[in-house]
Homo-oligomer: A and B are copies of this chain.
Amino acid sequence: MKRPLILITNDDGVDAPGINVLIRLMMQIGDVIVMAPDGARSAQSNALTVTHPIRFTKLEEKEGLTRYSCTGTPTDCVKLALYEIVDRKPDLLVSGINHGSNSAINVIYSGTMGAVLEGCENGILSIGFSICNHSMDADFSHFESHVLQISGQALKNGLPYGTCLNVNSPCGEITGIRISRQCVGNWTKEFAKRSDPQGRSYFWLTGYFDNKEPEAEDTDEWALNHGYISIVPTKIDLTAYREMDEVRKWDI
């Protein structure tokens, strides 16, 4: 049987420790192609580069691994790899391992998950892996066997078109795994205001996540806060089906 073809990307850039852990793990189960941004592209969501062209560069080619860097966003990376690099559809796309959690509403901002949604749209089994530690020195060792097991089970069981996985790990000891839903909450106290030497104001994005349902035990936030790996099955269809009939009653 042919080894699975695995496409890897991230939003922390091709040199980040997290993606190198992911490359090492995925080489155990398949042939790996990496197409990742040439530097940090955090919080790039599903952004596309449309006002200027993009390029990619081959960094390395050896048995079971070809590695490229790209000047674009994570979503650009996936599109470029699919249309300009691979000779067959990848069996699996994995994105990460992100330095920082992509739980709750962060899924809509995350470049890591943007790449996963892009793979999913293209009919590829796609998984985002993140860890609750922004440090470039983050320790991924406790997460590694789970990344392999989840990826292997995904390859074995598959997912229906339009569904992908958002997998987040706590930092320390892992209590277990929970299949969770996206926690309700929003970011608040968003900006740090500063003044430049000319006295003009400028603003740094900052703030904290306000969990609106800290007691609910079925959310990704609860899982992470209690030492569990959270897996949120995630979809690219944003239709609010339940509200359709209500809006049909409007006088429009």
Contacts and interface: CB of A to CB of B under 8 A. Distances in A.
11 contacts: A40-B51, A43-B50, A45-B46, A45-B47, A48-B109, A55-B200, A55-B203, A83-B190, A122-B186, A149-B251, A177-B252
A150 interface: yes
Given A75-B109, A181-B239, A182-B238, 12 more contacts: A46-B109, A47-B47, A53-B203, A55-B202, A108-B114, A121-B186, A123-B186, A149-B252, A162-B184, A163-B240, A233-B240, A233-B246
A165 interface: yes
Contact of A231 (B154, B237, B247): B247
Nearest to A159: B243
A44 interface: yes
Contacts of A47: 43-45, 47, 73, 109
Interface string A65-103: 000000001011001101110000000000000000000
A175 interface: no
A54 interface: yes
A25 interface: no
Interface residues of A, number: 83
Interface string A144-163: 00100110011001011111
The secondary-structure label for the interface of chain A is mixed
Identify the interface centre among A53, A76, A187: most chain B CB within 10 Å of its CB: A53
A204 B84 CA distance: 12
Contact of A239 (B40, B190, B233): B233
Given A55-B202, A202-B53, A238 B247 contact: no
Interface string A16-39: 000000000000000000000000
B105 A191 contact: no
A5 interface: no
A123 B204 CA distance: 23
B238 A238 contact: yes
